[in-house]
Structure 1
Amino acid sequence: MDIFLDAIHYKLGDILPIDELPEFENRAKDLDLLKTVGHQSCSVYQGSAEDLFAQMCGQFSDAEPEKIRKVDTLITTAKIDSRFFYRTLLSLGVNDVSVIEIGGSHCCSTLTAIKIASSLIKAGRAENVLLLTCDVWPNTKPRGFLGGFALFGDGATSCLISKDVGAYRILDEEDIVHWKLVKSDPNRDFSERFPKLCYEALSNALVSLKKKMSGRLTFANSKTALITVNVGIVAQTQHLGLGVPVMPAFVKNIERTGHILCGDYLLNLRDYSQEQAAQPVERILLVGTGMSTATFPSQDEATVAGARGILVLEPT
């Protein structure tokens, strides 16, 4: 059974240069670190997660009035009281819907949600699944936590997963886990170690995927392109050496918005679709790779970097 991913939309907060954020006054070292790993700005949403979720639902409904009425399942990464989901959808005319909340996977939650949607459709438990992410970090993290403002940006994304023909066919998926635990070392620059750790995890995950899809997946001749969601990869985009071109939309959005945890996949995929005619590919890899916690040299704890899954898409 073919499963398709379609109708991608997103909404961002106001995009601000990181050195204009008041939380970083007199923190030149932290600002230098952020710029080293690719951050120049951050998407900051001033409202609540509920408000952002409602606006994203409204935007999807306005853009896809026929599709919203067919939705029978909502999968969301938003950390909001579940009663709010039903009230919001009811206000848009969606009367009979199941809601599944995904959490705990952080950067990989969107991949997990797409896999669940695909499985529900194949099992006959759903037909049209609306996936809606919602990340509001700067207003929820403690002040003084570096990742709480400039590493993580705010935004929401949405897409529809169904049996109907869409922009992307879901070809394959792989639950790949490659972790590496590294103790913090105050004598080593985290901005140098972090990209390397993420690169190693990404490289191992791609090797595993190639073995699984032997003969069905090649990285040569720019026929396959990569989307991932980690700030550390940006510093290494010119040196990946994996034979897989990194999509320009990924680099652009990370530098423009900060790392929007669950939204990066769809945000980058949506922007890339606008540029695809100039850079056609046969396969798109959505790769979950990142850290379990924001760990810096001054902190006496371990850094865990890894890859937790890959989704293979085919543009239709």
Structure 2
Amino acid sequence: MTAIEAVSTYLPPHRVPIASLAGDLGLTDMQVRMFHRYYGLAEVLYEPSGTITDLMLNAAAKLSELRGREQQVRYVVQARTLQAIAPYPQEPLHDVVAALGLRHARAFAVTQHACASGLLAVEMCGRLLAEDGDPDALALVFAGEKAFTPSARMIPGTALMGEGCAAVLVGAGSRDRLLSYASATHGEFNAGLSLTAEMSLEFQQRYPDALAEVILAAAARAGITTADLDLVLPHNVNRVSWVRVARKAGIPVERLFLDNMPVTGHCFCADSFLNYVSARDVGRLKPGDRYLMAAVGLGSTFSAMVFEH
């Protein structure tokens, strides 16, 4: 059975108040107030001098469960929102593979689900490992990117992007067992940030129902209802959208883990894993708890996973 063996994260120490980004991002005072008061956002994480390679290596440096098990790693997967993450001919993932002594592993990226690609990578690695048939084999997934272009720093009217990173060790263990996965792509919104004003409005209107649908589907496939979920680890877009989704999916708002949302920004594919570590560290996850990770990728893919801790 697919399981998360371990998760480690790197949160850059540099936090930027959203008001200070107004000039760079072309935000009006009213838009800043909307992000702050209505969406519940205050700061975003930035690594001013670090590269995406640094982000991944810093996350992996704290993954103690990998030490001494490097030869068991069959796959190293970078879950990405952006197709281009560094100037040609740089290959950040292959630099990380070499630095970690994992050249024997197959290394590749998945970007097809945009910010939901982190969940896709975990599910896919589980299937690859199962097909290999070695119960001791592992996969290492990286999630989190640099907001290195102006268009990558903000989803207009929705979220501000941060630069946290997670390293996720996937295996066939029993620590955090994957109970179900549900995903749906609404291809009519494939233009993402380039949607027309009319299509953008339609996407915003359909968003809560579409996300609630995959959450309900993931719960049903796990043999439970959303009332049985002990915790929800969301993607950190904004508070107001998650309150709407929770109500539609029948999830009490207090079961949403929103602690990181005001201070990290939306860290691409990494949010649910960042939230997992934070929730675990503050005692919000207990053995036997069933929790859900959820994410939405522009383009547009809605995904949810249920785990047992």
* TM-score band, normalised by shorter chain: 0.7 to 0.9
Could you list the per-position Cα deviations for residues 4-62 of structure 1 after superposition, in whole angstroms to 9, with x for gaps in the alignment? Answer: 102211112311211123525872132123222222111112122223233333343x6
TM-score, with length taken from structure 1: 0.77
For 1:194 and 1:255, the matched residues in 2 are separated by 24
Gapped regions of structure 1 (runs ≥ 5): 293-305
For the 8 Å contact 1:18–1:41, the answer to whether it is kept is yes
For 1:24 and 1:89, the matched residues in 2 are separated by 34
For the 8 Å contact 1:201–1:289, the answer to whether it is kept is no
Match of 1:235 among 217, 233, 240: 240
Gapped regions of structure 2 (runs ≥ 5): 190-194
Runs of 4+ in 1 over 6 A off after TM superposition: 143-146, 278-281
For the 8 Å contact 1:12–1:154, the answer to whether it is kept is yes
**Quick check: 1:134 aligned with 2:144?**
yes
Match of 2:58 among 50, 55, 59: 55
**Quick check: 1:175 aligned with 2:183?**
yes
**Quick check: 1:73 aligned with 2:75?**
yes
For the 8 Å contact 2:185–2:301, the answer to whether it is kept is yes
For the 8 Å contact 1:18–1:150, the answer to whether it is kept is no
SS at match of 1:72: strand
Tell which deviates more after alignment, 236-245 or 140-149: 140-149
Name the structure 1 match of 2:192.
none
For 2:287 and 2:130, the matched residues in 1 are separated by 29
For 2:220 and 2:251, the matched residues in 1 are separated by 16
1:257 shift after superposition: 0.9
How many residue pairs align between the two structures? Answer: 289
1:210 shift after superposition: 4.9
SS at match of 2:123: helix
Change (3 A) 1:148 1:38: closer
Match of 1:310 among 271, 290, 304: 304
For 1:287 and 1:150, the matched residues in 2 are separated by 16
One-letter code of the match for 1:50? T
TM-score, with length taken from structure 2: 0.78
Name the structure 2 match of 1:10.
9
For 1:149 and 1:219, the matched residues in 2 are separated by 25
For the 8 Å contact 1:227–1:250, the answer to whether it is kept is yes
The equivalences for 1:1-316 within 5 A come to: 2-13=1-12, 14-21=14-21, 22-23=23-24, 27-35=28-36, 36-46=38-48, 47-60=50-63, 64-77=66-79, 79=85, 83-124=91-132, 127-137=137-147, 139-142=148-151, 147=156, 151-166=160-175, 168-177=176-185, 184=197, 197-210=206-219, 212-213=221-222, 216-220=223-227, 223-232=229-238, 234-238=239-243, 240-241=246-247, 242-245=249-252, 250-276=257-283, 282-289=289-296, 291-292=298-299, 307-315=301-309
One-letter code of the match for 2:172? K
One-letter code of the match for 1:132? F
For the 8 Å contact 1:132–1:156, the answer to whether it is kept is yes
1:273 shift after superposition: 1.3
Could you list the per-position Cα deviations for residues 255-282 of structure 1 after superposition, in whole angstroms to 9, with x for gaps in the alignment? Answer: 1111111110100111111234577763
For 2:288 and 2:102, the matched residues in 1 are separated by 36
Alpha-carbon RMSD across the aligned residues, in angstroms, is 3.5
